């Protein structure tokens, strides 16, 4: 099966782009563009990093509710962007659990926390815990666990299949990661403004009823995933039983806001047909 909707990326104002749709069993329903090309992921790095943190949790190296980050914050707060840390600074701006403050700094604290707990540099822990077992041989973490991953569509469809049908983690752990934590929390969704509520799981954004949003108007409320400032996204819609990855070489901006939603709606329409 091939998806004609994926050809819409031809119309995106980017030099290079690739996309694919994958089922839980790893069946790629369609792909388009150079799926083996390595792109900077920006914040699509975060779900990979979060998955490694959850492996560390299942291995007993960390606990979700142990202290990490600012006073009163825990691993869970950091994963759910409610630690109170600022966006890109290691500066506290609110009490833990009060607001959904999307924070790169929080994921950097998470990486340091896991590295200390395991005595393994976080990039290496990610490689051993997630990338190597999934065969993601073209993926590397070259700096911050918040934003410095580099990968391919071919690798990310392996990860997207994993989160739909977990092998590295207990399915109950993944189900918890895709459940809203600290429900009712307000916050800003970068690029899309204030959201009330601004729902997140553990390292994954949850669509719910947010508007505007980077997924489709027809995406189910259960859709989860992440997008990145390098013009990248990964979403999983459990209702249609599929995930979509799209990577580009152009920074996120108005072009992406205009292009991504109709693209996703076209993909979902084809999946439903």
How far apart are the C-alpha atoms of 123 and 20, rounded to whole Å? 26
* Number of domain units in the chain: 1
Distance (Å, whole) CA 225 – CA 47: 8
CA angle 270, 12, 206 (to 5 degrees): 60
- Distance from C-alpha of 138 to C-alpha of 124, rounded to nearest angstrom: 14
Whole-structure pTM value: 0.97
Partnered with residue 206 across adjacent β-strands are 224
- The owner of tokens 């990248």 is 232
CA distances from 91 to 62, 122, 158, 247 (A): 23, 22, 36, 31
Let me know the angle formed at the C-alpha of 250 by 245 and 251, rounded to the nearest 5 degrees: 95
pLDDT category, 2, cuts 50, 70, 90?
confident
CATH number of the structural domain spanning residue 152: 3.40.710.10
The domain in which residue 173 lies consists of: 4-272
pLDDT digits (tens, 9 = 90+) for 52-73: 999 999 999 999 999 999 999 9
Q: Tokens 């189900």 appear where? A: 175
pLDDT at position 1, please?
53
**pLDDT band for position 272 (cuts 50, 70, 90):** very high
pLDDT per residue over 160-184, tens digit each? 999 999 999 999 999 999 999 999 9
What is the per-residue pLDDT for 72? 98
Q: Once rounded to an integer, what is the mean pLDDT over residues 203-229? A: 97
Q: Locate 220 and state its tokens.
A: 């189910």
pLDDT, average across residues 250-267? 98
Could you give the C-alpha distances from 98 to 187, 199, 247, in angstroms and in order?
10, 13, 33
Query: pLDDT band at 273, cuts 50/70/90?
Result: confident
CA-CA distance, 267 to 21, in Å (whole number)?
Answer: 9
Res 124 pLDDT > 80: yes
Q: How confident is the model at residue 233 (pLDDT cuts 50, 70, 90)?
A: very high
Average pLDDT in the chain: 97
Mean pLDDT of 212-233: 98
Which residue intervals of the chain are DSSP H helices? 45-58, 75-79, 104-118, 122-126, 153-164, 171-177, 254-272
Task: Determine the average pLDDT of the residues in 220-239.
Answer: 98
């Amino acid at each position: 099966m091939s998806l004609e909707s994926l050809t819409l990326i031809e119309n995106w104002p980017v030099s290079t782009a690739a996309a694919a749709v994958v089922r839980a069993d790893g069946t790629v329903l369609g792909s388009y563009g150079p799926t083996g090309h390595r792109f900077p992921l920006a914040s699509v790095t975060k779900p990979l990093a979060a998955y490694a943190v959850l492996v560390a949790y299942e291995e007993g190296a960390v606990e979700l509710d142990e202290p990490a980050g600012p006073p009163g914050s825990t691993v869970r707060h950091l994963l759910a962007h409610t630690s109170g840390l600022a966006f890109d600074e290691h500066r506290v701006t609110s009490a833990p659990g009060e607001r959904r403050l999307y924070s790169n700094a929080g994921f950097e604290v998470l990486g340091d926390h896991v590295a200390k707990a395991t005595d393994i540099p976080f990039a290496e822990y990610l490689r051993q815990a997630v990338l190597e077992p999934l065969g993601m041989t073209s993926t590397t973490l070259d700096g911050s666990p918040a934003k410095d991953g580099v990968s391919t569509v071919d690798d990310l469809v392996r990860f997207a299949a994993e989160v739909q049908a977990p092998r590295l983690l207990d399915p109950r752990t993944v189900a918890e990661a895709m459940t809203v934590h600290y429900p009712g929390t307000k916050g800003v969704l970068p690029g899309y403004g204030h959201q009330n509520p601004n729902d997140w799981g553990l390292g994954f954004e949850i669509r719910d009823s947010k508007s505007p949003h980077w997924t489709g108007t027809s995406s189910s409320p259960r859709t989860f995933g992440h997008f990145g400032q390098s013009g990248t996204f990964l979403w999983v819609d459990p209702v249609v039983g599929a995930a979509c990855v799209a990577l580009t070489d152009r920074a996120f901006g108005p072009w992406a806001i205009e292009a991504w939603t109709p693209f996703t709606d076209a993909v979902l329409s084809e999946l439903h047909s």
